[in-house]
A = this chain, B = another copy of it.
């Protein structure tokens, strides 16, 4: 806990990192495996993983020579919670209400 949601967004804003996350959705992977599948050089893979790690999106588990990265759930749940407040917005068709209010305003206090 204690990760800022903007960190989540910026981390996922980079295409390679988004791709990594999508790979990890299907299960934990090794740095080398990630680099292979994404056509990345190993150092770049490590660097992106570092960013994801610091954003709390993944965690790492050393195994022998390797480091296995896997998704952490919390940031996704946080994202979900954040989205929740917007779901109500579109479900209530807030949109139309506002159009209505704008009409009122645009007609400068016309009283019927």
Interface residues of A (CB under 8 A from B): 5-6, 9-15, 18, 25, 27-28, 61, 63-64, 68, 70-71, 73, 76-77, 79-80, 83, 85-87, 89-90, 94-95, 98, 101-102, 105-106
Q: Is A13 touching B9 in the complex (CB atoms < 8 A)? A: yes
- From known contacts A73-B95, A87-B80, A89-B71, infer whether A61 and B12 are also in contact, taking CB-CB under 8 Å: no
Partner of A98, one of B12, B28, B64: B28
Copies in the complex: 2
Q: Pick from B12, B14, B77, B85: contact of A90, CB below 8 A.
A: B77
* Least CB distance, A38 to chain B, in whole angstroms: 14
If A27-B94, A28-B98, A61-B102 are given as contacts, then 11 extra A-B residue pairs at C-beta distance below 8 Å, sorted by A number, are A6-B15, A9-B13, A10-B13, A25-B89, A27-B98, A27-B101, A63-B102, A76-B83, A76-B90, A77-B90, A80-B87
